[in-house]
Structure 1
Amino acid sequence: MVLESSVFPSVAYPSVEPEAADLLITSIGHASPRAASVLSQALELPVETVVDALYRAPARLLANLPAADAARLAALIGTLGVEASVTPAGGPVARAPAMDLAAELLDLDAADAVAATLGRFLGMDPAAALDLLLTPPGVILGAVTEATVRALETSLPAGAVRLTASRPDQARFALFASDLSHQQVNVLRQRLPAGADLSPGGSATVFDLDRSEADALWRRLKAPEQVRIVDQAFLRFSLELVAAPPEGAAALEALAGVPAEDFDLLRRALPVPVEAGVAFDALESRLAAYAEAGLTVRAELETFSYQALDVLSAPAATLAELGLPGPAPLTTGLMPRPRARLLRHRLEAAGAEVLFSEARA
């Protein structure tokens, strides 16, 4: 429904009286970003004020209105899909902490539906929204509140996406640096925490930085192409089994779901991956669980790993539709792991025979 400015009542701003009320935004609900411009024009408010109220709800949008006008405005705003409420004027509004939000596509069959929903929520083309989702670490929203996270979660197909929200003011960060100059190496070396080190090629991975430490390193290194600083909550790891005793079948089945009848075959093929998508905060406990069971595993960062696909056979029309040069067999270029998974899924759904090729960080 499109609301014009004339639909909204003329709003005066009297001094606080017993019947006065404030109009609160409690959630963006199922509204699209276009709601911000509609409300900005209709209520003659700066669009920045409206955007802040929508994405960082709960927030006071208008204050000291006649209670009847406030109720009428709340109802009209609700027609945009925004959730609004009325409260006595001057009451405290506890602002929720800001969060960054990352997403992982779990249900590959739901990719198009997720892209459509996410695109509408973010105000962008579905293809661009899907690209954002498939670009590690998959950060899709920044500086929003819990109400916005819940609104997006509710709108997405059930079970199709895993959302991870993190508060930057409380988060721990990881720094990934590579190909640093001699001067940058010296800067980084002076600020490395105990136990961290630099490789001869000017590369380093440093975990467990707080926000101020991460920001200071970013400013000093001045190398956006060679340095990544990532919230550790958004990192994912794969676990690879490298050694297992003959009696470890039951433990591996309990820990990783590997059928006991496949254990002997798996031992002959070591090393083999046994888990994927392990969050950073769960990594230590997972490694400890395997060690306690007598199984030796190693963790590999998968967030920034790249993979190629070996397309052994595929219909020419499918290759063209997915933007791949034909004919098969062919090997694609390296691409981020989530993109490679989805492309392989779509190829196989169309009858292609596909294998993962080279993978690297």
Structure 2
Amino acid sequence: MSTTLRNDWTIQEIENIYHQPLLELVYQAATVHRKSHKANEVQVCTLLSVKTGGCPEDCSYCGQAARYHTGITVKALMDKDDVVAIAQRAKDAGSSRFCMAAAWREVRDNRDFDKIIEMVKGVNEIGLEVCCTLGMINEAQAERLQEAGLYAYNHNLDSSKEYYEEIISTRTYDDRLNTLNNVRKAGISVCSGGIIGLGETHEDRIRMLHTLSNLEQHPESVPVNALARVKGTPLADLPKVDTWEMVRMIATARILMPKAMVRLSAGRAEMTTEEQSWCFMAGANSIFTSESEEMLVTPNPKLDDDRKMFELLGLKPMQKDRATSPTV
């Protein structure tokens, strides 16, 4: 498989890649992966919810939406010093990227945003890649974040444009794309992927990958999430995502966007070491950890379990000087 960067993939081409026999797909993805990345390096990212719950959105999968009765404890915005202390411990434990998440629909120009700016500066000063996911942002807000030292901004597409209205009604697909454009204009790297297991079809997954891979510039990071089913949300009773579906998505994303960091994100808590190893073979080269063993408000593997997995598979955490994503 070629590693030439393309932004003109057709739906048919992506379908042909995605629907290949699984072993052939993984082989092709692993070949592409090794041409652009070190196969034994995985970036360890730490994700922290700096403001939890109470979100006015109606994302059907999200335990932080105020309208659903999920039992999530709403927590106000954290203090900068506490956030920086957690970031330092994350760095000491092997993380090279620190992502701060706030359960907001959109950023507002107020004291809370000022606090986020100070958090970004503080985490940047200790030598970590700093990422935020705060909902929608405008150009001026993106510029403030960039000036504070923000390295990346996460804003997932979630699914295809055609399926999007089935899971969210409080913002549009174009709203998400506009935020990505604002992030790119500000010179911040883009982190954008999606969730599988929302009740979507294979065609919806292909369309989402089509949108991401045909952006004017590929996202530097592409998280692939399995639905983390949260009691009280409309999607709580959907079946667990099959691991082979995750492998297929990761492999296809790797082939379409060869230089991107493909991030094995939500859903790892329900995966065995053997299942995760297939994801790494297919081209995933990043995972998320947290002190609280939570992926925001859903379970995440223990740090010790990840260390044991890395040792078993011969993987090592990507260092900061290697963590900067290649220019895409």
What TM-score results when the alignment is normalised by the length of structure 1?
0.22
What TM-score results when the alignment is normalised by the length of structure 2?
0.23
Higher Cα Rg: structure 1 or 2?
1
